[in-house]
Structure 1
Amino acid sequence: MSKTVEIQSPEQFSELLSSSRIVVADFYANWCGPCKQIAPFYEQLSASLSRPKIATFVKVNTEGDKAKDVAQAYAVTTLPTFIVFRDGNVVEKVKSADPNKLKSVVEKLSNEIENAGDPSNSGGSSGGMTWLGAGLPRGYADISDIVDIRGTELLNAATEFSVRTLFKKPKPVSLDKSSSTEEKDWVESDTDEQLMLFIPFNSAIKLHTIQITSLPPKAQEDEDEDDIPMRPSTIKLFTNRPHNLGFDEAEDIQPTQEIEIGEDDWNENGTASIPLRFVRFQNITSLVLFVVDGDGDSETVRLDRLRLIGESGEKREMGKLEKIGDEPGE
């Protein structure tokens, strides 16, 4: 039995966008030959990847009396058009009946879809929602899911730590009193206090705030405080770089923004919520985060979680309809 949802109205579509983390929409028409050709492939994707409240595959008939309003709201002028939404925001568009393009787009989301249904990634009672160490600025959302995890790179991290840890959804183990795991659920630098993190995104974003969580342990009576990792103090951000920077290179290049994190910037969750110069972070496809130094005399720096707050993709209001017409050359 097909798991694909046939959209009947803008209201139904809006409800799905708010109740399902990922929505994949197929905009089609009954008279459209290419739409019919790719329909079986789309149904296969729907059958294999649909997950309740996590990933929903829908079809929107652009000839329908009410469903066509959905197509108008998202300026669909070519059939078929496939649009991928995450948290209600457009993150990908595929125009044409090209199964390879559609498969490539959906494969970017497949790991997220599978992991979202895995209880081990759910963060306890949060139902799979991402833990945040601080509140969200009004009008903005956590867009950390749009990070291309496979493309991330972290330089000067000790070998026993993984960059993927920084974007894990659950609460850090150091804050979870019910956790008995001995897993190293954080990242530490290796030979000195500097870290260089390259973060590519699956689509262009507008970045408003960065939330950094750092939870170094307190020194025990028999420990030297210089052996305890530090929280980051000075951070430089570089945008739209095609690859990671070297440490010497980063020292010589003007950053998009340089940030000093003071002791009072850390809240009770060990999180510093850092607002950015928003006008400089409007069309970002990658971010390099350079931890220059820490807040003490130790030789290492520790990071537990990293959250990115802003806007992803392009979201159109359902009430702002546009006339469907033919696009030149399509």
Structure 2
Amino acid sequence: MAKPLEIQTVEQFSNLLKSSRIVVADFYANWCGPCKQIAPIYEQLARSLSRPNVATFVKINTEAEGCKALAAEYNVTALPTFIIYRDGSVVEKIKGANPQQLKTVVEKLSNDIQSAGEGGSGSGSNGGLAWRGADLPRGYTDISDSVDVRGLELLNADTDFSVRTLFNKDKPTALDKGKTSSTKKDWVESDTDEQLMLFTPFNSSVKLHTLQITSLPPADEEDDEEVPMRPKTIRLYTNRPHNLGFDEAEDIQPTQEIEIGENDWNSNGTATLSLRFVRFQNITTLVVFVVDGDGDGEKVRIDRIRLIGESGEKREMGKLEKIGDEPGE
């Protein structure tokens, strides 16, 4: 077990993200009182959970010459800020000296750290991190947990499938070798035609940066059933009080329309769709309208959806601030 490693340069940190499966970073400053208060707790967690090349805990002084660029790159605007990385991508960000929140989030990694040390992938059902089909853009996190799954609504979906499956944290069974698609229907398909209309409410206001859609239709027909298509044209509508009807959506200007090309799908069957970030601020609901599929079929299939951005409080740009101190202190 080891105490936190003090990062000296951007290059050192970049190399660490490549060599250690999980990295937990404490962004701090010497003048920050709350940073000093939580430091012993962070060190205790580091000593108990560090594993060579598996889980590394580091401290990054945001005022050190070699580290100022890291604070800017990962949008650190308040101190302390704790960021958790897996395989080089941000998966969690905690602002403020909240010992209980830090303990809860970091200790939640314990099973995942053990799994990573044994060569496992750490699935959501094991208490580890959620599966993702593609890397996250730097500085942003997977905020799919901000979705209020109780309010999800999916129009024109085949009744054999559950809408909550779209935000399942586990790896899609279609990617598990040796398992057939009939083992578990952990995806959704459209019903009477290729269109789908998904209404997604959030527990709090969010900022959306990227939409990741995973679609894994079988390569060949199974049981003489028609093979579904991947989505092609997606229209997004924000802050609607309820789901849209298909005719209604045709008469409303979308916040953004995206056409997914064949080359946009990676080896995991995931397309990473960049959003016009300025249009997706303070979002409370998102409607995803799948207009058509990428072929001549009559059904569309979606296995997973991941929402990338920021959740919680509004980001205040400018000078770094201490969280927990009163103004004027």
Q: TM-score, normalised on structure 1? A: 0.59
Residues 206 and 284 in structure 1, CA contact (< 8 A), matched pair in contact too: no
Residue 151 (str. 1) matches residue 152 (str. 2): no
Which residues of 2 match residues 217-228 of structure 1 at below 5 A?
218-219=220-221, 223=224, 225=226
1:24 is matched with 25
Secondary structure at 2:245 match in 1: helix
Residues 46 and 57 in structure 1, CA contact (< 8 A), matched pair in contact too: yes
> In the superposition, relative to structure 1, how do residues 329 and 71 fare at CA in structure 2: closer, same or farther (>3 Å)?
farther
> In the superposition, relative to structure 1, how do residues 143 and 46 fare at CA in structure 2: closer, same or farther (>3 Å)?
same
Q: 1:45-92 CA deviation, whole Å, 9 max, x = no partner?
A: 435655655653323568xxxx83356443799996234253366964
> In the superposition, relative to structure 1, how do residues 148 and 22 fare at CA in structure 2: closer, same or farther (>3 Å)?
farther
1:248 is matched with 245
> In the superposition, relative to structure 1, how do residues 189 and 143 fare at CA in structure 2: closer, same or farther (>3 Å)?
farther
Residue 104 (str. 1) matches residue 101 (str. 2): yes
Residues 155 and 197 in structure 1, CA contact (< 8 A), matched pair in contact too: yes
1:317 is matched with none
1:68 to 64, 67, 73: 64
The one-letter code of the counterpart of 2:235 is: K
Q: Which runs of 5+ in 2 are unaligned?
A: 312-318
1:213 is matched with 215
Residue 198 (str. 1) matches residue 200 (str. 2): yes
> In the superposition, relative to structure 1, how do residues 177 and 152 fare at CA in structure 2: closer, same or farther (>3 Å)?
same
* Alignment partners' CA distance in 1, 2:163 and 2:106: 21
Q: 1:2-43 CA deviation, whole Å, 9 max, x = no partner?
A: x431316225444334444442215254x8765553333323
Q: TM-score, normalised on structure 2? A: 0.59
Displacement after TM superposition at 1:259 (Å): 3.6
Displacement after TM superposition at 1:150 (Å): 5.3
Q: 1:235-257 CA deviation, whole Å, 9 max, x = no partner?
A: 21235x4x884133972542122
* Alignment partners' CA distance in 1, 2:78 and 2:274: 39
Q: Which runs of 5+ in 1 are unaligned?
A: 314-322
Which residues of 2 match residues 80-159 of structure 1 at below 5 A?
81-86=80-85, 87=88, 92=93, 94-95=95-96, 98-99=97-98, 103-104=100-101, 107=104, 114-115=111-112, 118=115, 119=120, 121=122, 132=133, 141=137, 146-149=142-145, 151=147, 153=149, 154-156=152-154, 158=159
Residue 174 (str. 1) matches residue 170 (str. 2): no
> In the superposition, relative to structure 1, how do residues 161 and 217 fare at CA in structure 2: closer, same or farther (>3 Å)?
farther
The one-letter code of the counterpart of 1:104 is: Q
Q: 1:115-171 CA deviation, whole Å, 9 max, x = no partner?
A: 475436469xxxx996758xx8xxx8489961333525442354654645566574x
The one-letter code of the counterpart of 1:194 is: L
Displacement after TM superposition at 1:215 (Å): 0.4
Q: Root-mean-square deviation (CA), in Å?
A: 5.4
1:303 is matched with 302
Residues 83 and 94 in structure 1, CA contact (< 8 A), matched pair in contact too: yes
